[in-house]
Chain A
Amino acid sequence: KQEVTQIPAALSVPEGENLVLNCSFTDSAIYNLQWFRQDPGKGLTSLLLIQSSQREQTSGRLNASLDKSSGRSTLYIAASQPGDSATYLCAVTSDTGNQFYFGTGTSLTVIP
C-alpha cells in the first residue's frame, strides 16, 4: 500500500526566506503528484500538478519537482510571505488513476 510522508511536520520561517517542503512516497508506480494548500478549517486548494512523465512544474513563486524513481517530490517557495502560512499537502495518484494517497502535511508559518 502506498505511503506518503511529509517532512517536516511543521516549519516556521521569517518573511522573505526561501524554503523547501519535502514529500516522499513508497511506491513509484504513480499516475501523478499534486501539491495542495489548506487554510485552517477550509478546503484544499490545488497548487501544482506534476504528471508522472514530468520533472517539475512552476507557478509564480512555487516550484515543484518530482523524482519518481527515488519516490520524492519537493515544493520550493521563494521569498516567503505571511500569506503563505498554511498547511501544505502532497498527494500521489495510483497508477490506475483511481486512488489518491495523501501525506499528513507540513504546517508552515511565515513570521512577518
Chain B
Amino acid sequence: EAQVTQNPRYLITVTGKKLTVTCSQNMNHEYMSWYRQDPGLGLRQIYYSMNVEVTDKGDVPEGYKVSRKEKRNFPLILESPSPNQTSLYFCASSSVQGGVTEAFFGQGTRLTVV
C-alpha cells in the first residue's frame, strides 16, 4: 500500500530538548516536504526536498532542520524546540515526473513543547 509514515504521532517535550520526527514514503517519490498546521493559519511549508541531498527552505524554516540522505526518508529536526513550535506537523511526498505532482500526506504528528 502506498503510504507516507510519520513517527511519532504524538509528542510532548520540554523546551530545548532536541527531537526528530521521522517521515518515510514507499512510493519512490523524488519530492518530499514538511508542513505545520496552526489554527487560522492553515498549512505552511517548512522545508522541501527535490531529491536526495537537495533541500530548500519553505515559508517558515526558522528553528527547523532537515536532511535527505535516502530517497525514502526525510526527517524533521528541532535542535532546540520552543513553545511556539507547538503545532500539528505533516510530511508529504509526490512524484515530479510526468507533469503531475499529486501530493500524499502522512497522518500527522502533534507536537507540544512545554
Contacts and interface: CB of A to CB of B under 8 A. Distances in A.
Contacts, number: 61
Contact of A99 (B58, B102, B110): B58
State the main secondary structure of chain B at its contact with A. strand
Interface size class, chain B: 20 to 34
State the main secondary structure of chain A at its contact with B. strand
Nearest to B41: A104
A63 B25 CA distance: 29
Interface of A: 31-32, 34, 36, 41-46, 49, 51, 89, 91, 93, 97-105
Interface of B: 31, 33, 35, 40-45, 48, 50, 56, 58, 90, 92, 96, 99-108, 110
Given A36-B105, A43-B90, 4 more contacts: A32-B100, A32-B101, A46-B104, A49-B100
